[in-house]
Each structure stands twice: as structure tokens, then as C-alpha cells.
């Protein structure tokens, strides 16, 4: 428990630092703005250069934003229930549908294990409930990703403790290939702070490319990234949607992501195949754009995070 407590305190400090010095964090879904930036060696763009989102923190760091507050309420053991209090203090009961749902609830332990993406049920009084989203003891972060009707999209986050014997897991080392449920998923591309990066995830099974991915929540994949250290939340959507005439059902799904800083991130890819949703996880390291300084001893490989060390061991 001691480590968890320290991490939580550390997160508060980081949030304050970001508030003072850094703005962007919300992932750019479709904006092509950064694509036109050809001068790779240029100085790091300021927040204002990035499309006017400079006053926004990454998602999920705040429990209350723009008048909306995430309020957990009592729930049966293992379950989770909450309300969103609106600017008038009353529970919000009207939400826009985004990606097929009014509410996306993402939970992850503070050590970045145990990720789940679930869809709670809304009661008429504005209470959202879901059974057993928290898989075991530990310090969890719950993210409510929603759009109140008449408002703008928000991701609010709150810590939830599940009592019990806690075994902290180190962050897995960076890798570009992972397996889940018999599928192999390969990642190409690496995120870089301050610019839109293309991340492509390619799904195969038994050595064969999977070319019949099924739409899940209106897309062939959903990608969430959480930053190690404070669990800043980025929900990344694919470049293209099923039925748009150019997006194929695999094996590759491409995402456009902008990360708010250097550091380690855990990526969680939800995809559907065979009538089931699978979640592939990766650790990636976001490096600063190459500027000629600070040479990397491991060589010139352009693959980004794959050949770096094991930053998960950094917190001791």
C-alpha cells in the first residue's frame, strides 16, 4: 500500500506541473493540422500553435471540470456506481451518444494493470451502475468518458480503492508485438509529443492476417492510452470508419494520436472478432522529436519506443 500511496501523491504533483506548463493532451481524432508541419527540426510548438487547445489538460486527471463532477456512489462489492453532477449541482440525466454509447467507463489500476472498458447502465435518477468492473484489490482509477447534452466531451477521473492484498506489478517493457486470446497484434509507429503520430495496429491469428474484424462501437478498433505516473487519459479513434468506402476490416487499424509529453504510456486496443471483444496491450515510450541533441546510446533505430529500456522499473 505504501507504494500506491506515494504514487497517488506523485500524480497530484504532476498534475500541478502540467497545469502550469503544458496544455494539450486530448488526443486529436481527425485534425490534420500537424501533418503539414514539414520542418521536423523546428522548435517544439507552443500550446497555442496546436489549434487553440492550449488551455486543456490531458483527459482524466480531474474529478471536476467545466462544472461537471464525477461522484462515486455506494455500490455492491466489486461493482461501481457514480453520478455526474452538472453545473446546477444536480445529476445529469441527458447525454449525447458517442461511439454508440452515452457513457464509456474505463478502469485501470494505478500500476496500469487490470484495464477494462465497460458501459454502465443509466438509471432515471442519473446514477450509472456497472457490475464488477474492478478486477481485484488495489488503487484503481475510473474514467468517465461522456458528452453531456448541450456540453462538450469530457473525461473525468476518480480514484477508487479496492481493499485486499495488493501486489504491485511493474510496467511491462516496451514491445511492438503482443498476444491476446490467440491473436498476435503488432504496433508500428511511435507517439511523439506535440505532433500527431500515426499508430498502426495489425492483427493476425495463426500466422494469417485477420481481414474480417467486426465493428465494435462503430469502429474496427478503440485505443486508449494511459500515461505512466499520473494516468493521463487519451482516447484515440481510428483513421476511418466502417462503411466509409476506404476503411477495410483489418488486418491493420490506424490511429492518429497526440501524446501530451515524453514518457511511458500503456496502450490498450479493443477490437472485435469472432463475436468477442479482445484487448491487446502495449507499453510504448514517447520520445521527444529528434533535434540532434541528447544522442541515444542504443543507436539510430527509428522505431521509437521498442528498443528502449524498462522504464517501468523507474519507480522505487
Catalog residues that contact Cu ion under the rule CB under 5 A. Answer: 104
Longest CA pairwise span in the chain (Å): 58
> How far is residue 75 from each of residues 11, 23, 68, 78, 131, measured CA to CA in Å?
26, 35, 21, 8, 9
In angstroms, what is the minimal distance from the CB of 104 to Cu ion? 3
- Closest by CA position to 259, among listed 20, 24, 41, 47: 24
Measured between alpha carbons, how far is 136 from 222 in angstroms, rounded to an integer? 24
Residue (107 or 187) nearer to Cu ion, CB: 107
Task: Please enumerate in sequence order all residues whose Cβ is within 8 A of that of 132, keeping only pairs 6 or more positions apart, or say none.
Answer: 78, 79
What is the closest distance, in whole angstroms, from the C-beta atom of residue 169 to Cu ion in the complex?
24
> Residue 222 Cβ, how far from Cu ion at the closest point, in Å?
7
**What are phi and psi for residue 171, nearest 5 degrees?**
-65, 130
Q: Which is nearer to Cu ion, 104 or 195 (CB)?
A: 104
- Closer residue to Cu ion (CB): 104 or 141: 104
Smallest distance from Cu ion to CB 98, Å: 9
Shortest Å distance, C-beta 159 to Cu ion: 20
Q: Which is nearer to Cu ion, 104 or 116 (CB)?
A: 104
- Which residue lies nearer to Cu ion by CB, 104 or 237? 104
DSSP class of 194: T
Q: CA 301 to CA 126: how far, in whole Å? A: 51
Percent helix, strand, coil in the chain, to 5, is 10, 35, 50
Q: Which residue is nearest to Cu ion (CB)?
A: 104
Residue 105: CB minimum distance to Cu ion, A: 7
Considering beta carbons, is residue 238 or 263 the nearer one to Cu ion? 238
Minimal distance, residue 131 CB to Cu ion, in Å: 16
Helix (H, G, I), strand (E, B) or coil at 297: coil
> What's the distance, Cα to Cα, between the start and end of the chain in Å?
13
Nearer to Cu ion, 120 or 194 (CB): 120
d(CA 174, CA 298): 14
Amino acid at each position: 500500500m505504501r507504494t500506491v500511496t506515494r504514487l497517488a501523491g506523485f500524480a497530484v504533483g504532476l498534475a500541478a506541473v502540467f497545469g502550469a506548463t503544458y496544455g494539450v493532451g486530448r488526443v486529436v481524432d481527425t485534425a490534420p493540422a500537424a501533418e503539414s508541419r514539414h520542418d521536423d527540426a523546428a522548435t517544439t510548438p507552443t500550446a497555442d500553435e496546436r489549434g487553440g487547445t492550449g488551455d486543456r489538460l490531458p483527459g482524466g486527471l480531474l474529478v471536476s471540470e467545466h462544472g461537471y463532477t464525477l461522484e462515486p456512489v455506494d455500490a455492491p462489492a466489486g461493482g461501481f456506481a457514480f453520478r455526474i453532477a452538472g453545473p446546477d449541482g444536480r445529476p445529469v440525466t441527458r447525454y449525447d451518444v458517442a461511439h454508440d454509447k452515452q457513457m464509456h467507463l474505463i478502469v485501470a489500476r494505478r500500476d496500469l494493470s487490470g484495464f477494462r472498458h465497460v458501459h454502465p447502465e443509466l438509471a432515471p435518477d442519473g446514477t450509472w451502475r456497472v457490475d464488477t468492473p474492478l478486477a481485484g484489490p488495489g488503487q484503481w482509477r475510473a474514467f468517465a468518458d461522456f458528452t453531456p447534452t448541450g456540453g462538450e466531451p469530457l473525461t473525468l477521473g476518480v480514484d477508487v480503492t479496492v481493499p485486499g492484498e495488493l501486489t504491485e506489478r511493474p510496467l511491462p517493457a516496451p514491445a511492438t508485438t503482443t498476444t491476446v486470446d490467440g491473436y498476435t497484434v503488432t504496433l508500428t509507429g511511435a507517439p511523439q509529443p506535440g505532433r500527431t503520430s500515426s499508430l498502426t495496429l495489425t492483427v493476425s491469428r495463426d500466422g494469417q492476417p485477420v481481414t474480417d474484424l467486426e465493428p465494435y462501437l462503430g469502429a474496427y478498433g478503440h485505443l486508449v492510452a494511459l500515461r505512466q505516473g499520473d494516468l493521463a487519459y487519451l482516447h484515440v479513434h481510428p483513421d476511418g470508419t466502417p462503411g466509409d468506402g476506404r476503411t477495410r476490416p483489418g488486418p491493420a487499424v490506424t490511429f492518429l494520436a497526440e501524446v501530451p509529453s515524453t514518457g511511458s504510456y500503456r496502450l490498450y486496443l479493443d477490437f472485435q472478432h469472432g463475436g468477442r471483444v479482445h484487448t491487446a496491450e502495449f507499453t510504448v515510450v514517447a520520445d521527444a522529436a529528434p533535434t540532434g541533441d541528447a544522442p541515444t546510446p542504443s543507436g539510430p533505430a527509428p522505431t521509437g519506443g521498442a528498443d528502449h529500456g524498462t522504464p517501468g522499473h523507474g519507480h522505487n
